[in-house]
Amino acid sequence: MNLVLELERRFGYSSFREGQKEVIESVLQGKNTLALLPTGTGKSLCYQLSGYLLQGSVLIVSPLLSLMQDQVEQMKANGEKAVVALNSFLTFEEKRRVFRKLSTYKFIYISPEMLANEEVLFRLSRMKISLFVVDEAHCISQWGPDFRPDYLKLGDVKERLNISITLALTATATQKVRQEILSTLRIERASQWIGSVDRSNIAISVEKFTQYDEKVDRLIAIISEWQKPGIIYFSSKKVADEMASLLAQKKGIKCAAYHAGLDQEQRILIQQQFLYNQLNVICATSAFGMGINKENVRFVVHFHFPSSMETYLQEVGRAGRDGLASIAVLLYAPGDEQLPQRMIENESMTKEQIYTYLEPSVYNEEEKAHFLGLNDVHQRLLHYYQQAFLKQPESDLRTFSTNIEQFMKKRQSQKFEHVDNMVNWINLQTCRREAILTYFNEKYHKKISSCCDVCRVDMSLYTQMKDTLKNENVPQWDVLLQNLLKLS
């Protein structure tokens, strides 16, 4: 089979990007495959072309509703009608309609939580699924043990659906994280294609300040002077809202805030406005950006402190997907690391909280969570552990609770270590890019002219160019939103 001819026939491309062909060949040979491909190098094409060349449907586990909607929209725009997103966005009637013709879909996007639904699993089990895809597979390690435990069940799901080929895709994962992905998916042997995490067209800079107001002033200067579009990352929804309002009202920037506090319709609308160049700056929390197919983002600014090198690199990678000069700037003031540290501390639970919640009683889960001062994330995790405990009839609840507490303490210690690594990186006096590559077990072979603030960054590349924001003709936003909601 000539894959290049298939690529041109189905997608109109004359050649593969680095890693794509190798990953597709591995899948077509029936091998479980784990691929680390940098952001913007076309991970989705790996399972789409493979899917067309395999008999049966492709089941794609995707982490975010907005990401699913974006991917479905892109496939439909390219002429693929047999694609659907199975998520909570569907109305009851839409779900019934999708379920009735589920076997006719070639590509099915789904969340880990939806795969915990017995009816969904039953219907999928009656289909021929040739390929099980876990997109953004690092979420298994980063999110599964903390607040999305359904990621930890994907190995069970794969075996229950009797799917023989699995493809796990990510842009950033250390060797340890890759092993956690394979272990959770119950893959003993996997073909691995590990690309470089380096994005040589993105300059890296850290700017230090002594006071919060100085950071705000510098951020305003950046947004006013630099080529756009761009993304600013915050850890606080409140600060993201305040900064978006400041930039829009006082500085005339076409800007909006995007975070989990907005309803789904608002988030999709803002995302589409950004994609269609009606907005040129997004003030976002980590809820924004994963899988967003926008090539011309010229800068990414971290106003707040990233919690890990993996998170930082994921977000930085949303700039410069077109290969042109782009920049990532982290604004730091002493003590900024205290915010992620407090968030890590707030995630912890005591052994007594765990034991009391899991212990059988006359109270329901909601009542126990309220009495014990547990939030929704705690409750979701404990519900998962409760199901695990019930599968171990010989287990002692007190011992089981102690083991969970010890596991959570270990996770907490690891997260604190990630924060410490970021502090150390910020205080480096040597090449920042080389330190990032060392973290991911890579070597820095080729020096570049605009590397990092320690080496050299040519700021004229980012401040003297005209905005790439185009005044495109797009449909009215209420019409566009209605169309988007019908995609699945």
Please tell me the pTM assigned to this model. Answer: 0.86
Chain region(s) in the chain for CATH 3.40.50.300: 3-194, 202-330+427-485
Per-residue pLDDT at 91: 83
> Is residue 380 classed exposed, middle or buried when 0-12, 13-18 and 19+ CB atoms within 10 A define those classes?
middle
User: Which residue spans within 381-424 are E strands per DSSP?
Assistant: none
Q: What is the CATH number of domain 202-330+427-485?
A: 3.40.50.300
- pLDDT value at position 291? 61
Can you tell me whether residue 343 is helix, strand or coil?
Answer: helix
Q: How far is CA 323 from CA 93, 202, 294, 317, 447, in A?
A: 43, 9, 12, 11, 17
Class of domain 3-194: alpha beta
Q: Interior CA angle at 148 toward 178 and 97, to 5°?
A: 110
Evaluate whether 315 touches 36 at the Cβ level (below 8 Å).
Answer: no
State the burial class of residue 338 (Cβ atoms within 10 Å of its Cβ: 0-12, 13-18, 19+): exposed
Kindly give, in sequence order, each residue whose CB lies less than 8 Å from that of residue 126, ignoring residues fewer than 6 positions away. Answer: 103
Rounded to the nearest 5 degrees, what angle is found at the Cα of 167, between the Cα atoms of 161 and 173?
Answer: 125
CA distance linking residue 72 with residue 84, whole number of Å: 7
Contact assessment for residue 12 and residue 4, using Cβ atoms and an 8 Å cutoff: no
Per the CB < 8 A criterion, the answer to whether 28 and 50 are in contact is yes
Contact 319, 328 (CB under 8 A): yes
Kindly give the confidence (pLDDT) of every residue in the chain, 488 residues in length, as a single tens digit, with 9 standing for 90 and above: 799 999 999 999 999 998 999 999 999 999 999 999 977 678 899 999 999 999 999 999 998 877 888 888 889 988 999 999 998 778 888 888 999 999 999 999 999 999 988 999 999 999 999 999 999 999 999 888 888 999 999 999 999 999 999 999 998 889 999 999 999 999 989 999 998 899 999 999 999 999 999 999 999 999 999 999 999 999 999 999 999 999 998 788 999 999 988 887 888 889 889 988 999 999 999 878 776 778 899 999 999 999 999 999 989 999 998 889 999 999 999 999 999 999 899 888 999 999 999 888 888 888 999 999 998 888 888 888 888 887 877 778 999 899 989 998 999 999 999 999 999 999 999 999 999 999 999 988 778 889 999 999 999 889 855 444 443 334 444 444 444 444 33
